[in-house]
Amino acid sequence: MREGKIGIGVIGCGAVARGFHLPAVRRHPSVALLALADVDETALDRAAREFGAERATFDYRDWIKDPAIEAVIIATPPEVTPQIAIDCLQAGKHVLCEKPIAISYEMGRRVVEAAEASGRKFQVGFIFRFNAGVRMLKRWITEGAIGSPMVIRLGAFNEPWMVTDPDHNRRVIEVLRTSTPLVVGGAHLADMALYFASSPPIRVSGVSARTRGELPEDNHWIGVIEFADGSIGKLEMGWLHPIAEADEHRGPYPQVKYPEIEIFGSRGIAWHDLRTGRTQLVRSEGVIQKRLPPYELNFDAQLEAFLTAIREDRPPSPDARDGYRSLSLTLALHEAIRRRTSLEIVQEEEG
Ligand SMILES: NC(=O)c1ccc[n+]([C@@H]2O[C@H](COP(=O)([O-])OP(=O)(O)OC[C@H]3O[C@@H](n4cnc5c(N)ncnc54)[C@H](O)[C@@H]3O)[C@@H](O)[C@H]2O)c1
């Protein structure tokens, strides 16, 4: 039964699609999953079995022109994402695209151009924007409860080294061959830093380290951003660090500190714990504590925002330009860190 529903195709049936996007699609009453594509047979079969779809193919171009498919979710590795996004937009599809939208300025710009030329909705999967705790922090900033200039401390230490899952390690190492944790995972942190900051970034610097000699690239990156109003941001991305894998310690990386989302200002310190949903504002007058919904449910809110933009013909948010702003910031940090120097950020003309 798909009367009145928006027909959706999903390209890339790996971890984030199976774990989060496809369950959100299944839970949503107004969408019908019509097609799946993945170049990997195992991933494709597994998703097709678990979620069902009228079509499951290795090549998305087999179904991308089907007019019944109005929208596409792209959850592929970043080196192939931009061309797939451009193909989908040119086929007239609305796109919910995983971050980063690209790993080079050139491809990032091409995605923005294709999105804007298409007249379709293009939303980037900056999932933290749909996190109630992150929104709460933004509200406290806007209301002046934190004070500025701010120190914005963001960090993520996902993609651990898993002795029991060498396939996982292999996939992460593959990503390190074409990019870095800073550009791939750091896309979220850069978007969040830009979302929280009240002024543009003007200078970047930082350091990186390789804690495992066998890796093709540094696995821990610490970037520093200076903003025009004197605020500073710290973006820290660490991959392939050890975790305990015994059953009693399982859970989302319990012994590695979960993403840091902390803001210090003259009036208050605020933080959000992504794992528990605890969100706190500490000020001399007292402490405000909230417990807000956890990470998984953000995918429902993200999908709903995308569908609303389509239904009501409204601009999506975050859009392709947000995707490009985040990419430019991580690429600038990447270059500064590589050269062990600090670089000024020149604002690109937006027109
Ligand atoms: N929003 C989030 O919180 C979040 C979380 C994890 C990953 N991501 C992003 O989502 C993307 C996918 O990450 P993942 O962890 O699911 O990776 P993954 O490697 O588990 O899955 C990617 C899938 O894409 C498939 N693929 C590769 N090339 C393809 C092509 N040309 N056509 C169709 N399928 C193709 C692969 O075979 C694989 O099954 C990445 O860009 C990552 O940065 C976002």
Q: What is the CATH number of the domain that holds 75?
A: 3.40.50.720
Q: Is 224 in the pocket of ligand 1 (CB under 6 A)?
A: no
Cα-to-centroid distance, 72 and ligand 1 (Å): 14
The answer to whether 150 and 126 are in contact (CB under 8 A) is no
Tell which atom from ligand 1 comes closest to the C-alpha of 127.
1
324 within some domain? no
Task: Answer yes or no: is 210 within a domain.
Answer: yes
Task: Let me know if 288 is exposed, middle or buried by CB neighbors in 10 A (0-12, 13-18, 19+).
Answer: middle
- CA distance linking residue 234 with residue 250, whole number of Å: 28
Ligand 1 near 22 CB (within 6 A)? no
pLDDT of residue 351: 58
Our answer on whether the CB atom of 46 is closer than 6 Å to any ligand 1 atom is: no
pTM over 0.75: yes
| Atom number, ligand 1, closest to the C-alpha of residue 19 | 16
Q: Average pLDDT across each block of 10 residues of the chain; the chain has 351 residues. List them in order.
A: 85 95 96 98 97 96 97 96 98 98 97 98 96 95 97 92 90 92 96 96 98 96 98 96 66 60 97 88 95 80 97 97 98 97 85 58
Note whether residue 325 is domain-resident: no
Question: Do 148 and 60 reside in the same domain of the chain?
Answer: no
Specify whether 179 is located in the same domain as 286.
yes
Kindly state if the Cβ of 173 falls inside 6 Å of ligand 1.
no
Residues 204-219: b if buried by 16+ CB within 10 A, e if exposed: bbbebeeeeeebebbb
Nearest CA owner, ligand 1 atom 4? 16
Q: Is 315 exposed, middle or buried (0-12, 13-18, 19+ CB in 10 A)?
A: exposed
Residues 283, 139 share a domain: yes
Asked whether 147 lines ligand 1 (CB < 6 A), one says no
Q: Could you give the CA distance from residue 73 to residue 71 in angstroms, rounded to a whole number?
A: 7
Q: How far, in Å, CA of 41 to CA of 335, rounded? A: 37
Q: Which domain holds residue 337?
A: 128-294+330-344
> What is the pLDDT at residue 345?
95
Q: How far is the CA of 81 from the centre of ligand 1 (A)?
A: 9
Ligand 1, from 16, 178, 298: best to mutate by most atoms within 8 Å of Cβ?
Answer: 16
Strand pairing report for 55-57 and 31-37:
parallel
Q: Token pair for residue 51?
A: 């979620």
